[in-house]
Chains A and B, each alone.
Chain A
Amino acid sequence: MKARKQTKVSRRMLFTWFMLTGLILLFAPHDFTGKFQLAFVHIFRWPLSIGGNVALTARTPPSVEGAKQRSEAQYRNYVENLKQTLDEQTRKLEKLSGLYNTFVWEGADFALADVIIKTIDGSRNEMTINCRKTDGLMKGQYVLGDESVIGTISEVFPQIAKADVKLVTDSTSWIPVEVAGIKTIMTGSGNNAAKIVALKKEVKVEEKVFALKNLKEGGFLDAPIIVGKVVRCERNTQMASVWDLTVAPVCDIKSLEDVAVIIINPPK
Chain B
Amino acid sequence: MRWFRFAALILTVTILQKGVLARWDNKPDLLLIALVFSATYLNTSDAIISSFIIGFAADLVGSPIPMGPHMISFGVFGTLLAYLNRVIAIRRLPYQALAIFVMGILAGVLTHVLAGESLSRSMFAVVLVTSLYSGFVGPFLVAPSAWWIGIRTGRLRRR
Residues of A within 8 A of B (CB): 9, 11, 14-15, 18-19, 21-28, 30, 33-34, 36-37, 40-41, 44, 47-52, 54-55, 117, 119, 121-124, 190-191
Contacts and interface: CB of A to CB of B under 8 A. Distances in A.
A212 B67 CA distance: 35
Contact of B63 (A25, A47, A190): A190
Contacts of A14: 45, 48-49
A40 B19 contact: no
B72 interface: yes
Nearest to A26: B68
A124 B22 contact: yes
A22 B45 contact: no
Interface stretch (B31-39, B54-62, B124-132): B54-62
B66 interface: yes
B49 A19 contact: no
A48 B52 CA distance: 23
Interface of B: 14-15, 18-23, 44-45, 48-49, 52, 55-56, 59-64, 66-69, 71-72, 75-76, 79, 114
Given A22-B72, A36-B60, A122-B63, 5 more contacts: A26-B67, A30-B66, A37-B59, A44-B18, A190-B63
A15 B48 contact: yes
Contacts of A119: 22-23
Given A11-B48, A48-B18, A25 B64 contact: no
B51 to A, nearest CB: 8
Interface residues of B, dominant DSSP: helix
Nearest to B62: A37
Given A47-B19, A123-B63, A22 B44 contact: no
A34 B49 contact: no
Nearest to B69: A26
**What 9 A-B pairs have minimum CB-CB distances, sorted nearest first?**
A26-B68, A51-B20, A33-B67, A122-B63, A18-B52, A25-B68, A22-B71, A22-B72, A51-B19
Nearest to A47: B15
* Most chain A Cβ neighbours within 10 Å, of B44, B52, B63, B71: B63
A86 B49 CA distance: 62
26 contacts: A9-B45, A14-B48, A15-B79, A18-B48, A18-B49, A21-B71, A22-B55, A22-B71, A22-B75, A23-B68, A23-B72, A25-B56, A25-B59, A25-B68, A26-B71, A26-B72, A26-B114, A27-B68, A37-B62, A44-B18, A47-B19, A50-B19, A51-B22, A55-B23, A117-B23, A122-B64
A40 B67 contact: no
B47 to A, nearest CB: 9
B61 to A, nearest CB: 7
Contacts of A124: 22
A38 B52 CA distance: 20
Contact of B71 (A25, A55, A123, A191): A25
Contacts of A122: 63-64
Contact of B52 (A22, A40, A117, A190): A22
A76 to B, nearest CB: 36
B48 A34 contact: no
Contacts of A15: 48, 75, 79
Nearest to B82: A11
B67 A19 contact: no
A175 to B, nearest CB: 22
Contact of A34 (B20, B44, B61, B67): B67
A52 B18 CA distance: 11
Contact of B61 (A28, A40, A55): A40
Nearest to A30: B66
B15 A48 contact: yes
